[in-house]
Structure 1
């Protein structure tokens, strides 16, 4: 497959590039400046310099039309730094959605975060007391980031022409990838390398379109866990 990755200099995206290229896929990586060019080229990616803040929808449409990716991966994030989550995680994502529609690019994997949800609906039914307490702490601490992710997801849900999968990892760690838990999970941790592996598995597994899937460190193989989510689509959080 051919991938176009936004936020290509991030840790998850770097893992993804390495894993995807080693598996025989082609990766085009979009980064805002030359900071990660040498590293990405060393991993086998084709680098494109573009800013989610400064570049326009026509700019990204042109890029998509030129690259012609099978799948777009949106792994960009503000990371708590300027210009902030509204500009990157929400407005930047919407630019990519608009460009995908203009370029007739269908497939998207959006890396979001666990517990991104409309909180006026109450807690998901499977949340434990510990999950609820964690949810409250996270939203109190990084509510602006969570709201930006939520707005991007809600906007994506309205784009009927985009075949999306949203992956919602837990607290990101630097640990090596282990086994996984997918679908309805508790609020724990996720290896960045594991998220990268799940992105690739999701892109190459049919039936994942239209799902929002929590991703946590767990006890199952990625293939087994993903097959279970696809078979029992209600196991994926879609609220």
Structure 2
């Protein structure tokens, strides 16, 4: 399987590259900064420089040619303002969907966030509120297209850098909680290999169920 990951230098993306490479799959990471190429190569991925805030849809579609799936794991990151939450967390996800459509890639996994349903509560930090709104807008675009394609939205809870447990809770709605980035990467891999999860919005936190069993128990979309 050839998988292209947007936000290729992010923590979840690099862990996912390693998971893919460990299975003998081909991982391609889209990066903004060419200085990050060596880190992707070390993670077992093929780096491709494509700034999602500036690349055109045709050029991006060219980078997706021959892919079996795309994963949007990009984010504006800590320290960015509300404007970049929109240009990265929303607009770049939409751009990737446009490019996937042009390239004929049917499988699209969107890494979103828990807490995007409804308006952010009163008193929410302005930038974090913008982040939640951007993630929800990206979800709405990807899931609302009149296309015969296979999307899955994954909404992790609070992310940690703890070692993976291999045990999770995965469902349409789950109680708030934390999950390791390494477990998120493993869940992404499992979702890629489980076509029944297409058409699903799934929330994810740590839990007691082995990842393979949790993914297998998701009702068909």
Q: Provide the TM-score with structure 1 as the length reference.
A: 0.85
Corresponding position of 2:163: 176
Q: Does 1:164 align with 2:151?
A: yes
Are 1:221 and 2:210 matched, yes or no? yes
1:153, distance to aligned residue in structure 2 (A):
0.5
1:72 alignment counterpart: 70
Runs of 4 or more consecutive aligned structure 1 residues displaced over 2 Å after TM superposition: none
User: Does residue 151 of structure 1 match 2:137?
Assistant: yes
Q: Aligned with 1:229: secondary structure? A: coil
* 3-state SS in 1 of match to 2:139: helix
**Alignment-derived partner of residue 57 in structure 1:** 57
For 2:151, what is the secondary structure of its paired residue?
Answer: strand
2:86 corresponding residue in structure 1: 86
Question: Counterpart in 1 of 2:195?
Answer: 206
Q: 79-88 or 211-220: which moved more?
A: 79-88
| Equivalent pairs, count | 214
Contact 1:101–1:161 (CA<8 Å) still a contact in 2? Answer: no
Cα RMSD, aligned residues only: 1.6
Indicate the structure with greater helix content. Answer: 1
TM-score for the superposition, normalised by structure 2: 0.92
Question: 1:51 offset after TM fit, Å?
Answer: 0.5
1: distance between equivalents of 2:18 and 2:156?
A: 19
Compute the displacement of 1:150 (Å).
0.6
- SS of the counterpart of 1:152? helix
In the TM superposition, residue 176 of structure 1 has moved relative to its aligned partner by 1.0
Query: Residue by residue, what CA displacement relative to the aligned partner does 1:103-154 show, whole Å, maximum 9, x if unpaired?
Result: 11110111000121234xxxxxxxxxxxxxxx738x8121100000010101
Cα offset, 1:162, TM superposition: 2.9
Residues 109 and 165 in structure 1, CA contact (< 8 A), matched pair in contact too? yes
- Is there any run of 5+ residues in structure 2 with no aligned partner, and where? none
Secondary structure at 1:168's aligned position in 2? strand
Q: Secondary structure of the equivalent of 2:170?
A: strand
Partner residue, 1:188: 177
Query: Does structure 2 conserve the Cα–Cα contact (< 8 Å) formed by 1:190 and 1:215?
Result: yes
Q: Do residues 40 (structure 1) and 40 (structure 2) align?
A: yes
